Structure 1
Amino acid sequence: MIRELEIRNFALIESLRIRFGDKLNAMTGETGAGKSIVVDALGLLLGDKAQASVVRKGAERCQILGIFDTGRNRAAAKLLKELSLENEGEDLILRREIDAQGKSRAFVNDRPVTLSTLSSLGDHLIELHSQHEHQKLLKSAEQRDFLDRYAEAWDLRAQAAEAFALWKALLEKKEASQISDQERNQKIDLYAFQVKEIEDAKLKPGEEEELDEALPRLKNAEKIRAALDEAYGHLYEDEGSVSDRLRKVKRSLDNLTVLGMDLKEVPRILEEVLVGAEEMAGEIEKARGNIVSDPSRLDAIFSRQDLISKLKRKYGATLADIIAYGAKIKGELDILQNYAENIGNLEKEIEASQASFMKKAKALSAARRKEGENLASAVEKELKDLGFLKARFAVQLVSEPPSAAGLEAVEFLLSANPGEDLKPIKAVASGGELSRIMLALKKILAQADMVPTLIFDEVDAGIGGAMGNIIGEKLKGLGKTHQVIAITHLPQVAAFAECHIAVRKEVRSARTQTEIELLGKDARVEEIARMLGGVSSISLKHAAELLSEAGKK
């Protein structure tokens, strides 16, 4: 659950910090005070897209920080571990920053993350229900999702989706392979020629580098040989060569030794130089033997490079690309040459994959039929509590072509009054009725719902005060298993909250800003009196009575 939310320089908010209770929290305030701004800030914290316009005028950046308790949130803890973002203890800290140019940064436990990571994590932390979310309930796909969640059929649905994807891929493979005999024969001729051309070339990885290395020696063999001959002559072979002169120096030094002069290290150094000169001469002589003018070998290298260039123009930019292309078309050639056998095997695979999908899809359908009846009964019971005393609710499965979601669409049907036929809720439900149906569904799904925090943004829109008591009681009931944050205009709903937060708009130094206050007992009575129509002795008394009655339930 979320324990604390801190917002700085966001829209009308300069700086505020909100601490939430772990049960039902009510957030109230006049229209335009900034309640929706707080919800928008939470959305950004959980990965919504941001624009530069959200930064408060004159500020360089805005920051939204949330501290969450994930002690009992296994799904969030698992994802954090997978992403190596876990923190010591049970606190999870999310932070989002947007600068005045619209550039956004996101952090999890002070480590930078992508928005997709933030959004994935947010799915396990908070679920927002707004008027927009209520409109989603009108869509058949959303209704199917509700039913599958209630039926705990997500695993069945995932299995059916996987089987459908395989079946579809095999069908597409068959369709792609179905060509005329003439076209198939043309491809066989072309691929056979290309395979032969590539295989005949006997290409080897690294061959180009070897050719490039050998080419200069062969092209310049005569010049290299002449240079080596000249070096060998100067060093060893010619009259007056280096070796010859060093031997003369040695004889002179030997005479000096006989004459009694000790030159210490000079004779040893000279000996080393003589040995070095002879070794150099040996290496040069060896190199001379390796240099051979071979015009035929040179022509062969040019021809080989020519062939490789031709193959690269036709089949790929590198030798590795050419070799890979050859392997690829060899496989395709095999398929074309053995078409009848391959298509027969493919049809068997298609038949088996279709049977596998249908088995899984029918199991999913059976779960939907069974639990659809149970869901309808449960919704009817909740709707009665929410003022639909004679309402009937049904879950209709409508057959549709096979898809990753199974074999049927789902339609929620409602008859709000006696004598009326069951009709799709999109045709009969008003905004207020949709709010109550959504609340009924959330109440039913609460036990199976793994998201710990539920935010209801004006779930009571279009609902009168009498129904507000019932909705408040339902929200309080949800607060026993979830943290609930309700943005509400109804004092009857606010009275049931364990934690009451007032949102106000103030003008300071000619600047408008949103502020919040966690209300104590007396301030809470005054806020609910304001919501009842204005603070007076009568409204204060009524507010106190509302709080007293709500506290007993």
Structure 2
Amino acid sequence: MLTHLSIKNFTIIENLNIDLQRGMIVLTGETGAGKSIIIDSLKLVLGSRADIKMIKHGCKRCEITAIFDLQNISEAKQWLKNYGMNNEDNEDECIISRIISTDGRSRSIINGILCPQQQIRELGSLLINIHGQHEYQTISERDQQRNLLDIFAEHESLLNQVQQIYLAWQQTNARLIQLQQLTKDHGSQTELLNYQIKESNELALQENELEDLHQEHKRLVNAEQLLNDCNTVMNIINENNLSIARNKLIGIKEIDSKIEATYELINNAIIQIEEADLELRHYLDKVNLDSERLQWVEQRLSTIHDLARKHHVKPEELYNLHKDLTLQLQQLNNSEIDLKETLQQVEKLSLDYKEAANKLTDSRRQAAQKLSQQVTKQMQQLNMPQGEFAIHLIPLKGKSSSANGLEQVEFLVTTNPGQPLQPLSKVASGGELSRISLSIQTLTAQQEVTPTLIFDEVDVGIGGKVAEIVGRLLKSLSCSTQVICITHLPQIAALSHQHIRVSKEIKGNTTVTEVETLSNESRIEEIARMLGGINITKQTLAHAKEMCEIIKNEL
């Protein structure tokens, strides 16, 4: 769960530090005080898009840090271990920071380690789920409706299985189409490859032959110059007087042994020169003015280059081309067998998909019935006494299939007696839609394993008895997960375990947001403000106190 949030220089927030408890937490305050900004800061630290406009005016950077208790979140702890980002001092704690600078740079840090936004978002999805005040606007979308039903059904592993089989099925089917096209042109392709391989066989190019031919051609073209230059070198070597010098040194070293080293150097030089002379003679034996050999080498090189141009490859790639052509012919000859095997794979994957997809349909059907009953019950509690909610599974047209199964999911509703069930977006008003959305969110949230749920003003458009019921729905969720709720309703605020007031103050020439965790007494005053507005009377204070006492006695 989220235990601490630190915000520095973010929009109108200068420096905030908020400690958060378990259970249900409410954030209250006047409109514009900065409640939603706090939620925006959480979104930012968990990987949402950064903008330098978020930095408080006059500051060079903003920094947001969130600390999480992972004691009961094994999946998040395992994720951190997998990426080598676990907190070595305390594996049950995770510290995530986001720093944005005015130069446009943005950094995300997990337990002191820099990481990309994609990883932050992955980890964030294991820690927090934010239900926004405009969530009801997306609940009319069929993809979102299917997603909510799947969450409620708790069949993630089955859905993943369907998606994986579907992907393998489509990939194998694409391979099948390629093989069918290949076998369709089998005759002409085989004829062409056989002809190309025959040409390559006739050439009989050996590995490294091209390089050897180039070297030989260079020697043959320059043979006359090589002969002349080598003979000149040999003449120079043979004309040297080092032997005379060596003989003189023999006499000297008999008189003075200190000259021994000089004698050895000259003696070794003579030996090396004699070896060089021998090597040159061997070399000259191989150098000859062979015009016929030169003509043959040039013709061989020309043949190699011509065939390389014909196949649109470099001459040095021609040797490997022969292997490639042989492999292509082998694959083509095996394509009939591959086609048969791939067809069998496609048929098997098709059956596997249908089996898994039918199980998914059955699971959705059961979950749809259960969710419909529960949403209908909550609708009637939420001031829609004649309301009815239903979920239809609409088979995809024809024999269509998809990675998400064999059907579309559609939410239907009626809010008045005598009216037939119709798509959610066509029937419900804005207020009704928000209440239905909240009902579905709270019901599906019970199936989530996310340790912290945030509801950002999802109570818009309700009040009175309905507000109290909504508050109790949220409080029931907080028995198993941390619930953070931004609200303007005293009925909801009175039900919280922790009450945080957000206020806006002017300091000098700037506006700053401040937070305060309320004591029992100050909490009553805040609820009285929410009940009565600017002027708080004894009656509103008494009413606020009574609300809190009733809730306290129920616990």
Letter in 1 for 2:51: Q
Instruction: Note if 1:77 corresponds to 2:77.
Output: yes
CA contact (8 A) 1:446 1:481 kept: no
256 and 99 in structure 1: CA distance in 2 versus 1, 3 angstrom threshold:
closer
201 and 94 in structure 1: CA distance in 2 versus 1, 3 angstrom threshold:
farther
The one-character-per-residue Cα deviations of 1:171-215 (angstroms, maximum 9, x if unpaired) are: 444445566999665555544444555565556776666666665
* Match of residue 525 from structure 2: 526
Deviates more, 1:216-225 or 1:447-456: 216-225
* Match of residue 396 from structure 1: 392
322 and 226 in structure 1: CA distance in 2 versus 1, 3 angstrom threshold:
closer
Q: Secondary structure at the match of 1:50?
A: coil
Tell me how far 1:460 sits from its aligned partner. 0.3
176 and 182 in structure 1: CA distance in 2 versus 1, 3 angstrom threshold:
closer
* Match of residue 348 from structure 2: 352
Letter in 1 for 2:121: S
* Match of residue 468 from structure 1: 467
The one-character-per-residue Cα deviations of 1:483-532 (angstroms, maximum 9, x if unpaired) are: 11101111111111222222222222212222222222232222222222
CA contact (8 A) 1:454 1:485 kept: yes
CA contact (8 A) 2:182 2:332 kept: no
Q: C-alpha separation between the residues in 1 aligned to 2:50 and 2:201?
A: 56
Q: C-alpha separation between the residues in 2 aligned to 1:210 and 1:539?
A: 102
* Match of residue 540 from structure 2: 539
Q: C-alpha separation between the residues in 2 aligned to 1:204 and 1:248?
A: 52
The TM-score normalised by the length of structure 2 is 0.87
Q: C-alpha separation between the residues in 2 aligned to 1:310 and 1:49?
A: 58
Alignment of 1:147-158 (within 5 A): 147-158=149-160
Q: C-alpha separation between the residues in 2 aligned to 1:105 and 1:519?
A: 34
* Match of residue 129 from structure 1: 131
CA contact (8 A) 1:316 1:322 kept: no
CA contact (8 A) 1:316 1:325 kept: no
* Match of residue 222 from structure 2: 220
330 and 79 in structure 1: CA distance in 2 versus 1, 3 angstrom threshold:
farther
Letter in 2 for 1:38: I
1:117 to 119, 140, 146: 119
Deviates more, 1:126-135 or 1:347-356: 347-356
Letter in 1 for 2:249: L
Q: C-alpha separation between the residues in 1 aligned to 2:8 and 2:306?
A: 65
186 and 86 in structure 1: CA distance in 2 versus 1, 3 angstrom threshold:
same
Q: Secondary structure at the match of 2:134?
A: helix
The one-character-per-residue Cα deviations of 1:64-117 (angstroms, maximum 9, x if unpaired) are: 221112222122122222222222212112122222243322222221211111
Q: Secondary structure at the match of 2:502?
A: strand
Instruction: Note if 1:247 corresponds to 2:240.
Output: no
Alignment of 1:322-471 (within 5 A): 345-400=341-396, 401-471=400-470
* Match of residue 508 from structure 2: 509
Tell me how far 1:458 sits from its aligned partner. 0.5
Instruction: Note if 1:31 corresponds to 2:31.
Output: yes
CA contact (8 A) 2:210 2:316 kept: no
* Match of residue 233 from structure 1: 235
Q: C-alpha separation between the residues in 2 aligned to 1:437 and 1:160?
A: 30
Deviates more, 1:426-435 or 1:202-211: 202-211
CA contact (8 A) 1:8 1:63 kept: yes
Letter in 1 for 2:49: K
The TM-score normalised by the length of structure 1 is 0.87
The one-character-per-residue Cα deviations of 1:245-289 (angstroms, maximum 9, x if unpaired) are: 22212322334466x555542444443333333334344444444
Q: C-alpha separation between the residues in 2 aligned to 1:368 and 1:361?
A: 10
Q: C-alpha separation between the residues in 2 aligned to 1:212 and 1:83?
A: 54
Q: C-alpha separation between the residues in 2 aligned to 1:504 and 1:320?
A: 76
* Match of residue 17 from structure 1: 17
The one-character-per-residue Cα deviations of 1:117-169 (angstroms, maximum 9, x if unpaired) are: 11111111110101332222212222222222222222222222222223333
Tell me how far 1:290 sits from its aligned partner. 4.9
* Match of residue 274 from structure 1: 270
CA RMSD of aligned residues (A): 3.3
Percent of residue pairs identical: 34
* Match of residue 479 from structure 1: 478
Q: C-alpha separation between the residues in 2 aligned to 1:206 and 1:414?
A: 78
Q: C-alpha separation between the residues in 1 aligned to 2:503 and 2:64?
A: 19
The one-character-per-residue Cα deviations of 1:374-424 (angstroms, maximum 9, x if unpaired) are: 222333344444444443322211111211111111122223344433222
* Match of residue 46 from structure 2: 46
Q: C-alpha separation between the residues in 1 aligned to 2:479 and 2:434?
A: 21
The one-character-per-residue Cα deviations of 1:221-247 (angstroms, maximum 9, x if unpaired) are: 443343333223222x3xxx23xx222
256 and 33 in structure 1: CA distance in 2 versus 1, 3 angstrom threshold:
closer
Letter in 2 for 1:59: C
Letter in 2 for 1:76: A
CA contact (8 A) 1:52 1:98 kept: yes
CA contact (8 A) 2:379 2:436 kept: yes
CA contact (8 A) 1:203 1:319 kept: no
Tell me how far 1:464 sits from its aligned partner. 1.1
Q: How many residues align?
A: 546
Tell me how far 1:42 sits from its aligned partner. 1.3
Q: C-alpha separation between the residues in 2 aligned to 1:268 and 1:428?
A: 111
The one-character-per-residue Cα deviations of 1:346-383 (angstroms, maximum 9, x if unpaired) are: 44443332222111111111222223222223333444
231 and 113 in structure 1: CA distance in 2 versus 1, 3 angstrom threshold:
same
Q: Secondary structure at the match of 1:131?
A: coil
Letter in 2 for 1:397: L
Q: Secondary structure at the match of 1:14?
A: strand
CA contact (8 A) 1:205 1:320 kept: no
**Tell me, which stretches of 5 or more residues in structure 1 are unaligned?**
none
* Match of residue 68 from structure 1: 68
CA contact (8 A) 1:315 1:321 kept: no
Tell me how far 1:313 sits from its aligned partner. 5.3
Tell me how far 1:319 sits from its aligned partner. 7.3
CA contact (8 A) 2:305 2:315 kept: no
Q: C-alpha separation between the residues in 1 aligned to 2:205 and 2:381?
A: 80
